[in-house]
Amino acid sequence: MYLIVGLGNPTTKYEKTRHNMGFDVVDAIAEKYNITIGEKKHRAMCGKGVIEGVKVMLAKPLTFMNLSGESVSSIVDYYHIEPEEEMLVIYDDISLAPGNLRIRKKGSAGGHNGIKDIIAMLDTDVFARIKIGVGEKPPHWDLADYVLSRFPKEDRELVDGAIDEAVKAVALIVRGETDEAMNLFNRKKQ
């Protein structure tokens, strides 16, 4: 089974914020592939289904962003998932402009606390990830306030396009075609 994790913060207070890009992409995946994310277990909302002939579990950790590793490690341990080959994490990235994607097979946390916690809990940074650009923090803004804010209309349109591209990338990645996904989607849009 392939684990697809979208990072975000639970509750309606955080819906459609920059920090909830992972949740938004997982919701779009669920809609496209008719997967119900309705089961609460492993401190996450989960749903099982099939994408391109591959059995998958979609997960949205309910631990709040900075403790995402608790939920992810619980799922990985319970289902005996090999993160290096059977896990994809989707999350926001302030170093990318809105609408841009960056797909990687491994890497550091890059300052993202949710990824930092996952790496610490799994003791590996070798797992696929899709980073969704949310734009750089403006001067004089607190980082937490920025990532927990919503997009202006013009950026929301760019981000919605990136969500669609991320769903297409997921279909390639679960089939083992991560290099193809990187070639198609790792390009600057602005």
Take residue 155 and report the two structure tokens written for it: 């950026």
Q: Which of 19, 42, 80, 112 is catalytic?
A: 19
Answer whether 56's CB lies under 8 Å from 3's CB. yes
- pLDDT of 190 strictly over 70: no
Note if 19 is an active site residue: yes
HSE-up (13 A, CA, CB side) for residue 89: 32
Q: Is 187 exposed, middle or buried (0-12, 13-18, 19+ CB in 10 A)?
A: exposed
Instruction: Report in angstroms the alpha-carbon separations of 37 from 41, 59, 150, 152, 156.
Output: 11, 8, 23, 28, 24
- pTM value? 0.97
The tens digit of pLDDT for each residue in 119-146 reads: 999 999 999 999 999 999 999 999 999 9
Helix, strand or coil, per DSSP, at residue 181: helix
pLDDT tens digits, 44-81: 999 999 999 999 999 999 999 999 999 999 999 999 99
